[in-house]
C-alpha cells in the first residue's frame, strides 16, 4: 500500500478575516508579536489595521520591514538579531511571499542558530520554531500554507530552497480584502506564480490524490479569474477566487513539491533580482513543452481544467492544448516576455543551468533533465 502525507496549517478564509488575527495569536500563547511586512503593505494600511487588532487582544507589536522583493540572506540575519533582542515570542507576517519567507527564515535562525545556508535543502531544521501566523496580501506565493522558504544567497547569487515540515505556519489567515491594494502588474505576476504552482504540483512525481484535487482546482480558478482580476482590481469576486486559487495551489505544491520551472526561476531571480512571477511566465511554457512526453495524460487534464475543448483530439494533441492555454493567458495579462527582455544574457546560462541541477525542486520534475537540457530550455525561453 502506498503511504502519503499531507500537511497544512489551520486556515481562516474570507473577507474581513484579518479581524481574527488578535485572537489567533493569543490562542498560540504569544505575549509579544514580531511582525514582518514590507513598505508597500505598510503604506496600504494593512499593518496598522493588524496592529490595532493585536493591541485590542492585549498584544504589543514590533515591526520589521527591512526586506526586498527577492529577500536576501543578510536581511534575514538582521531580522533574526532584531527578533532576539526584542523579547518577542511569536512571529506574524502580513504581506506577500517575500515577508512570509523572511518571517519563516527569521524563525529558523532565532530558534536553531547558525547560518541560513545550513538549512538549505530538505528537513534540516531540528529545534522547534516560534509560533507563526501568516496573513498574505497577494494571491500567488501560497507561502501561508507551505513548508517552503525561499531566500537569496547573495554570495552565490541564487535562491536557496529551504523545505521542512517545521515551516508550516500554525495559522493562515487569508482575507481577500487585502488584494484590493495590489496593482494590475503585481496581480498578473503573482497569479502566474500560483498557476505555475498548480501545474508543477499536478505533474510532480510526488503528486497524490489529495494534492491533485487542490492543484486542478487552483488551475481552474486561475484560468477563470486571473484576467478579470488584472483588468479590474476592485472586482472582489475575482479577487476572492484568486485568493482561494493561491491557497489551494499552495496546499498542492507544499505537499507535492514543484519541478523544473521553479528550479530554473530560482536561479534567474537570484541573479537578476527579478519578480518571480514574471520569470515563471517566461519559463513555464517551455518547461511544459519539455515535460509533455513524460505525462501527456496529466497535461490533458490541465487543458480541461483551463476550459480547453479537447473533444476528438488524440492524447498528445489534447495535451498540447494545455501549453496553448497557458501561453494565451500569459499574453492576455501582459507578461509574454522572453528572458532576454527581463535582462538575462546568454553568458549566464551555463552557470544558471548548473545551479538548477542542484535545486531541490528538480527532484520531482516528471522528466529527468540534464544540465545541457536545462540550458536548451533557458535558450528557448530567451
Distance CA 368, CA 31 (A): 48
Distance CA 300, CA 175 (A): 33
Per-residue confidence band for 270, with pLDDT thresholds at 50, 70 and 90: confident
Write out pLDDT tens, residues 141-151: 999 999 999 99
Helix axes 184-203, 236-256, angle to 10 degrees: 40
How many residues belong to the chain?
A: 382
**Gyration radius of the chain over CA positions:** 20
Hey, what's the cell of 257? 513539491
Per-residue confidence (pLDDT) for residue 166, from 0 to 100: 96
- End-to-end CA, the chain: 44
For cell 481544467, the residue is 305
Q: How far is CA 365 from CA 257, 357, 370, in A?
A: 9, 11, 12
Decide: 277 and 188 in contact? Cβ < 8 Å.
yes
Pairing of strands 148-153, 158-163: antiparallel
Write out pLDDT tens, residues 330-361: 999 999 999 999 999 999 999 999 999 999 99
Distance CA 354, CA 206 (A): 23
Per-residue confidence (pLDDT) for residue 274, from 0 to 100: 81
Write out pLDDT tens, residues 126-178: 999 999 999 999 999 999 999 999 999 999 888 898 999 999 999 999 999 99
Per-residue confidence (pLDDT) for residue 3, from 0 to 100: 84
Write out pLDDT tens, residues 200-231: 999 999 999 999 999 999 999 999 999 999 99
Q: Which of 12-16, 34-38, 149-153, 173-177 bottoms out in mean pLDDT, i.e. has the lowest? A: 149-153
Amino acid at each position: 500500500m502506498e503511504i502519503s502525507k499531507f500537511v497544512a496549517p489551520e486556515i481562516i478564509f474570507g473577507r474581513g478575516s484579518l479581524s481574527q488575527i488578535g485572537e489567533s495569536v493569543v490562542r498560540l500563547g504569544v505575549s509579544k508579536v514580531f511582525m514582518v511586512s514590507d513598505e508597500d503593505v505598510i503604506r496600504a494600511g494593512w499593518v496598522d489595521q493588524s496592529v490595532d487588532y493585536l493591541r485590542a487582544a492585549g498584544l504589543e507589536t514590533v515591526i520589521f520591514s527591512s526586506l526586498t522583493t527577492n529577500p536576501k540572506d543578510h536581511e534575514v540575519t538582521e531580522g533574526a538579531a532584531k527578533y532576539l533582542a526584542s523579547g518577542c515570542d511569536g512571529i506574524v507576517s502580513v504581506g506577500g511571499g517575500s515577508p512570509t519567507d523572511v518571517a519563516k527564515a527569521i524563525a529558523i535562525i532565532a530558534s536553531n542558530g547558525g547560518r541560513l545556508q545550513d538549512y538549505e535543502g530538505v528537513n534540516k531544521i531540528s529545534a522547534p520554531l516560534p509560533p507563526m501566523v501568516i496573513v498574505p496580501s497577494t494571491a500567488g506565493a501560497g507561502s501561508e500554507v507551505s513548508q517552503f522558504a525561499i531566500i537569496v544567497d547573495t554570495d552565490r547569487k541564487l535562491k536557496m530552497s529551504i523545505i521542512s515540515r517545521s515551516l508550516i505556519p500554525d495559522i493562515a489567515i487569508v482575507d481577500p480584502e487585502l488584494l484590493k491594494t495590489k496593482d494590475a502588474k503585481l496581480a498578473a505576476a503573482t497569479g502566474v506564480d500560483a498557476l505555475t504552482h498548480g501545474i508543477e504540483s499536478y505533474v510532480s512525481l510526488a503528486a497524490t490524490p489529495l494534492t491533485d484535487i487542490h492543484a486542478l482546482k487552483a488551475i481552474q480558478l486561475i484560468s477563470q479569474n486571473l484576467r478579470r482580476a488584472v483588468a479590474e482590481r476592485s472586482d472582489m469576486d475575482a479577487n476572492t477566487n484568486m485568493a482561494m486559487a493561491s491557497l489551494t495551489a499552495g496546499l498542492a505544491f507544499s505537499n507535492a513539491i514543484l519541478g523544473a520551472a521553479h528550479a530554473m526561476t530560482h536561479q534567474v531571480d537570484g541573479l537578476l533580482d527579478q519578480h518571480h512571477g514574471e520569470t515563471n511566465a517566461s519559463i513555464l511554457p517551455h518547461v511544459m513543452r519539455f515535460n509533455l512526453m513524460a505525462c501527456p495524460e496529466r497535461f490533458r487534464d490541465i487543458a480541461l481544467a483551463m476550459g480547453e475543448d479537447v473533444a476528438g483530439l488524440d492524447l498528445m494533441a489534447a495535451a498540447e492544448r494545455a501549453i496553448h492555454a497557458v501561453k494565451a493567458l500569459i499574453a492576455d495579462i501582459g507578461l509574454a516576455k522572453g528572458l532576454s527582455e527581463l535582462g538575462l544574457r546568454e553568458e549566464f546560462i551555463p552557470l544558471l543551468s548548473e545551479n538548477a541541477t542542484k535545486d531541490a525542486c528538480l527532484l520531482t520534475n516528471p522528466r529527468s533533465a540534464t544540465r545541457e537540457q536545462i540550458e536548451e530550455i533557458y535558450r528557448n525561453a530567451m
